[in-house]
Amino acid sequence: MSISIGKRILLGFVAITIVIVALGFYALGQIGVVRDTTDGIVTRDLTVARQLDDLANKARDMGLQRRNAIIALLMRARGGPERDDGSASWRRSAAEAEAILAELVRATDSYRARSASEERSLAWRKVNGIAIEAVAELRELRSASEAQFAAIAAKDVDGVEARNEALNRSQELFLSDIERTRSALDEGIAAGQRSVADLYERSRLSILLTLGACIVLSILITLLISRAVVRPLEAVMAFAERVGEGDLSGTLEARGKDEIGRLGRTLNRMVAGLADLARTNRAATSDLNAAAAEIRASAQEQAASVEEQFAAVQETAATVDEITHSGAQIGKRAGEVIATAQSTAQTSRAGLRAVADTARAMDSIREQAEAVAGNIVALSEKTQAIGDIITTVNDISERTHLLALNAAIEAAAAGESGRSFAVVASEMKLLADQAKAATGQVRTILGEIQRGINTSVMLTEEAVKRAAAGKARSDTTQRTIEEITARVEESVQTFQQIVASTNQQQLGIEQVMGALQNIRQASQQTAAGTREVEAASANLTELAQALMTLAERYRH
């Protein structure tokens, strides 16, 4: 049967309390015995001493009364006045003395039977024996005294004197018996004191022994409680210290159903849970460490990729900026070409008027032909300039086409955030294709213009050389100039289309620049987020290492 610690302590306290209460009652009983014995001894001894004092007083009164009777007799014999002989008083005193002795004999015999010790019983027996002897002496004294009182009554002086010496001896013997009784009583008192002292010592010794037994019993109960409580607690504390040091491999033996047993079973369950938690924590920490390392490596790779993407976006932005400047220059040069072409058209119309006037003024053919030749040469130079511009526009178109291709690739790499940029790149590619086709057409037209100009030059030279054939040549020149004028006007329209395409391309490039700016900001934000992820993964790695160190502390 298992008893709880609280009940054990309560039972131990109750047992010790019972022992203490029993010791108290026993001590009170012993004190009562000592007190009763002392009271009995004191009461009996005082009673007997008082009786002996009364008896001695009665004996002295009897002697005094007997002497007074003798004195009264002698005074009467000598003629003195009559006096009471005192025999009645003597007899009362003698009767009282004999009654006291009888009571003393009865009391001492009773005291002897109820003595506290053997020595005390012997003392009472001695007192009783002396008292019995004193009774005999008193009776003899009363008998002799009655004879003397009879002689006194008969006024027999000689008889009174003859008995006086024997009565005095009897009186002395009776008083001696009283003193012997007193001495025996003193011995009894001393024996009573020794008996009381022995009883006190025995009581004190028994109380001390009982107290020692109580102390031993209390120590035994304390040791039993300590053994039942402290030892299991020490085992629990040692087990808790091992657990605190990280040793989760042991178990605490807990068989009892008391508080310590329940505590031990609870600690075992707790340690088992801690061991499972340590194993789970170690596995989770290992997985966390590996995941943190992977996250950090991925973040570093992503950071490098973002940096590369950001550099590519920067380079693309620079290229687009250059294209923007080139487009502006193309627009400016195209405006100049349009102005030149318009001037050429006006010159061609003037040439037509000059050819018309050739028929009327052949004399001025040479001047007009030279003017035409100069204009044609200037037109040839302008045409060559237009060819250079067309080459530049074609180069720009090819670069724009390449830029649109790169932008489409970057937009595909950017994912969802690059979808708008992909649309702009597609439009740029379309515009580049249109610009390239238009430049091809312009180049063809310019080739034809160049051939016409060459023909006009040849015709003008022939017109100068052949003034006679001026009319026919003038017609040919007129037709050629008309064709040139038409081609120039067509070139003007083409250049206007080129300028419009260039303006649209400029708008597209500006949109591309805006998209690139957005991509740059997104790349910067992505880079910042990647750096934060890398820092967080580094912190996570440190935390995983700390958790691994903490988990390694526990052994299971």
Alpha helices per DSSP H over 78-117? 87-113
CATH 1.10.3470 fits 301-541, yes or no: no
| Residue 453 scores a pLDDT above 70 | yes
130-179 pLDDT tens trace: 878 878 777 877 777 777 777 776 776 677 677 777 777 877 887 777 78
70-89 pLDDT tens trace: 676 666 666 555 555 566 77
Every domain range in the chain assigned CATH 1.20.58 = 5-234
What single-letter amino acid sits at 251?
T
Distance between CA atoms of 478 and 456, rounded to whole angstroms?
10
pLDDT value at residue 363 = 62
Per-residue pLDDT, averaged over 292-317, amounts to: 71
Distance between CA atoms of 358 and 364, rounded to whole angstroms?
7
353-362 pLDDT tens trace: 765 666 566 6
DSSP secondary structure string, 12-77? HHHHHHHHHHHHHHHHHHHHHHHHHHHHHHHHHHHHHHHHHHHHHHHHHHHHHHHHHHHHHHHHHH
Secondary structure class of 380 (helix, strand, coil): helix
Could you identify the residue written with the tokens 């074609």? 394
Please say whether the beta carbons of 463 and 476 come within 8 A: no
458-482 pLDDT tens trace: 777 776 676 666 666 667 777 787 7
Secondary structure class of 556 (helix, strand, coil): coil
What single-letter amino acid sits at 523?
S
The confidence band for 485, taking pLDDT boundaries of 50, 70 and 90, is confident
What single-letter amino acid sits at 158?
D
DSSP 555: B
| Residue 317 scores a pLDDT above 70 | no
The domain 5-234 is placed in CATH, from the list 1.20.58, 1.10.3470, 1.10.287, 3.40.50, at 1.20.58
Every domain range in the chain assigned CATH 1.10.287 = 301-541
DSSP 467: S
φ and ψ of 468, to 5 deg? -70, -35
- pTM score: 0.38
DSSP 253: -
Instruction: Quote the mean pLDDT of the chain.
Output: 74
pLDDT value at residue 1 = 47
